[in-house]
Amino acid sequence: MLATAGRMTITRFAPSPTGRLHVGNIRTALHNWMLAQKLGGKFLLRIDDTDPERSKEEYVEAIRADLAWLGMHPDGEERQSLRLERYDAAFDVLKEAGRVYPAYETAQELELKRKVLLGRGLPPIYDRGALDLSDEERAAKEAEGIQPHWRFKLDHDEAIAWEDGVRGASKFDPKLLSDPVIRRADGSWLYMLPSAVDDVEMGVTHVLRGEDHVSNTAVQIQMFTALYAAGFGAASDAQKTHPEFAHEALLVGTEGKLSKRLGSLGCDALRDKHIEPEALVAMLARLGTSLPVEPIADSAKLLETFDLSTFGRAPAKFDDAELERVNTAIVHAFDYADVSDRLPTGMDEAGWHAVRPNVANMGEVAEWWRLVTGPIEQLEFSDEDKAFLAQAAEALTWGDDPWGALTSALKESTGRKGKALFLPLRQALTGMNHGPDMGELLPLIGEEEARKRLQCSGQ
């Protein structure tokens, strides 16, 4: 029985608004959104903006807009900068309980300690030097004007273990972890405690994030326990449990690591490349799982197979070419109604159907549609072809199937067939050697324009 069983699922996506979302964190957002959908719960957007210097309102807006573009609508939004007094309250109870302590080392001193340990081949774990200070020594530091930063005191006797939704049974020896700094000397917060406080107070049941957070989870599990023990948080005992945790393998580029490019590849760049949000969602939903990436535009369909047990531990490879393939397949499955508001003026359902198989993405639609509206490129023809095209202009009739009628008539009258019959006609009518089905295109070009194009080429 899972600890959070019986509670409404609440997941959260918690970006820091210090930049734009990239495919890596979009993937985390998506999986949290899917998990909430799948379990009939809620998906929260939590803006981790405790760093006032680096957090920017424009990024908050961009995050909201990106999620909306991708079809992920949060059921609520929270902001850490509006909850500072909650972190103060948690801090106070933890301090009272002896679970946070002041430390006075400078960054240089800490770095030196690290180097010494590493030099001896030991893990660079904080030595808890600050705990050895007497009250007088602390008072002396403060008299010198040195303000402390604050660390969370891990309980070395409390083994840390959890059943990870992706990684399975996971455990950490707390002695092998440094007591994390949770608050800077200026009173500002580091990520660790506010996140745990929020997860408690927002009733988060599932934390699904990248595996770079595994050791944070170990620390935060002790924070949840310490907070509950100190009387902070949930009203009922049943709720006094930490969320389920799942850590997904990181996203890497085809070259095998999270490249700079991938780390900054976001919605704007993808939109510029005419990637549909459905394509990105379809790909990210399954990347790194045992399920195949398929061009599934309907997120309800993707949800049917969404299951953390399909997530693998190997890094998930993000391949642009694969995204483009998925995108093309999704575009090819769009009905007219799906795209009607994005088509060039005058392009109707028949136009979309004619052009659709030829486009790799929506950015190519206008280009193909120009074959209908013109102007088209005027190609050079041999004298023989010119005569043939002049004849075609004469033979053109306008019924249900002008292309069928034209080609049959010309086949009959000229004896031409195959490429010799079709190619000069296509070239004269579109200025191109290949393109949409002529049977669909010719009625869209229209009789008068078609005749004109044939005549021009036949001269």
Beta-sheet strands, E only, within 51-204: 76-79, 100-103, 149-152, 160-164, 168-172, 181-183
- Counting every residue, how long is the chain? 459
Shortest Å distance, C-beta 191 to ligand GLU: 6
Nearer to ligand GLU, 212 or 319 (CB): 212
State the Cα–Cα distance between residues 375 and 372, nearest whole angstrom.
8
Nearer to ligand GLU, 14 or 296 (CB): 14
Q: Compute the C-alpha angle 328/332/288, nearest 5°.
A: 45
State the Cα–Cα distance between residues 401 and 250, nearest whole angstrom.
55
Rounded alpha-carbon distances, angstroms, from residue 459 to 194, 362, 381, 445, 453: 78, 36, 9, 20, 10
Shortest Å distance, C-beta 80 to ligand GLU: 9
State the Cα–Cα distance between residues 377 and 166, nearest whole angstrom.
56
Shortest Å distance, C-beta 19 to ligand GLU: 10
CB of 10 closer than 8 Å to CB of 36:
yes
Nearer to ligand GLU, 66 or 276 (CB): 66
Nearer to ligand GLU, 222 or 407 (CB): 222
Nearer to ligand GLU, 191 or 352 (CB): 191
Nearer to ligand GLU, 32 or 457 (CB): 32
Shortest Å distance, C-beta 74 to ligand GLU: 14
Shortest Å distance, C-beta 164 to ligand GLU: 14
Site for ligand GLU, rule CB under 6 A: 14-16, 48, 191, 195, 209, 213
Q: How many beta carbons lie within 10 A of that of residue 397, not counting itself?
A: 10
Nearer to ligand GLU, 49 or 179 (CB): 49
In this structure, what token pair is assigned to residue 79? Answer: 């902001």
Nearer to ligand GLU, 220 or 457 (CB): 220
CB of 161 closer than 8 Å to CB of 169:
yes
State the Cα–Cα distance between residues 238 and 225, nearest whole angstrom.
13
Shortest Å distance, C-beta 195 to ligand GLU: 5
Rounded alpha-carbon distances, angstroms, from residue 86 to 17, 49, 201, 278: 20, 14, 9, 38
Shortest Å distance, C-beta 142 to ligand GLU: 31
State the Cα–Cα distance between residues 205 and 65, nearest whole angstrom.
26
Q: Which residue, among 227, 130, 249, has the nearest Cα to 185 in the 3D structure?
A: 130
Q: What Rg value do the Cα atoms of the chain yield, rounded?
A: 32
Helix (H, G, I), strand (E, B) or coil at 459: coil
Shortest Å distance, C-beta 16 to ligand GLU: 4
Shortest Å distance, C-beta 43 to ligand GLU: 13
Q: How many beta carbons lie within 10 A of that of residue 394, not counting itself?
A: 15
Nearer to ligand GLU, 262 or 428 (CB): 262
